[in-house]
Amino acid sequence: MWIGSAKNKTKPLGFQPYQEPIKSLGVNLSYNQDRNNNLNFFVKIHRMDTKLSMWQARDLTLYGRTMLVKSLGISKIVYATSMLCVPETVIRTVQDRIFKFLWKNKRDKVKRAVIYQPFSHSGVNFPDIHNVVKSLHLSWIGRFLNCANETWQAIPNGYFNKHGGLPFLLKCNYDSKHFDKKMPLFYNEILDCFKEVCNGYPDVYNSDLIF
């Protein structure tokens, strides 16, 4: 399977390109984005529904259902979510499915903003998928900064260094829309997530923790 500028060539280096989805490190890859989303997310969401439906008839408390959502539900998509761009439709679908399980396919009885709160604030610590996705993407920043000259860092650092390097990008107020169009979308999402967090916590910009 050829990527980059080579994918538009008929037979790069004389080899016939592989057109069907391939699986690498547990992630399905193909030229068709809809197919990628289906194999990496929606198929797993269906498996999540199957697992949770087995517990639907049980007389469980909200705390018990929350635990099942975390252990048998969203755990199915965490791996793919941690390394891929997650479409908004996937986030909404997962959030709707797990709330249907929580309330036994009935309407919400408590505001979701309350359900997300920890036990100490009268909530049940129910997962907010938007925040789960952001936290998984932000975890890559720590990996980038805490490792030095690792082989896997060559590609992302190659893109970041074109714009001053990752430490510089984390310290400045930037607009990712102005980045090189060849910058992978996943790297843009990581930076956008960090910027969004900093907008809520301005002291992060002045913190030495990101170095």
pLDDT, tens digit, 9 for 90 and up, residues 170-187: 887 777 666 767 788 888
| Nearest by Cα to 20 from 4, 8, 32 | 32
CB within 8 Å of 141: residues ≥ 6 apart: 166, 170, 190, 194, 210
Domains of the chain: which residue ranges? 32-127, 134-210
Mean pLDDT in residue range 147-170: 85
pLDDT, tens digit, 9 for 90 and up, residues 111-133: 999 999 998 998 999 999 999 99
Please give the model's pTM, rounded to 2 decimal places.
0.81
Mean pLDDT in residue range 7-23: 66
Q: How far apart are CA 62 and CA 158, in angstroms?
A: 47
Please give the residue that has the higher pLDDT: either 182 or 1. 182
Q: What SS3 class is residue 174?
A: coil
Q: Look-up: residue for tokens 């408390």? A: 61
Q: What is the pLDDT of residue 50?
A: 93
Indicate the pLDDT class of residue 8, thresholds 50, 70 and 90: low
Q: How far apart are CA 107 and CA 91, in angstroms?
A: 19
CB within 8 Å of 44: residues ≥ 6 apart: 76, 77, 80
User: Structure tokens of 80?
Assistant: 């793919």
Indicate the pLDDT class of residue 210, thresholds 50, 70 and 90: very low
User: Structure tokens of 66?
Assistant: 């929350």
Give the Cα-Cα-Cα angle 7, 12, 18 (nearest 5 degrees).
60
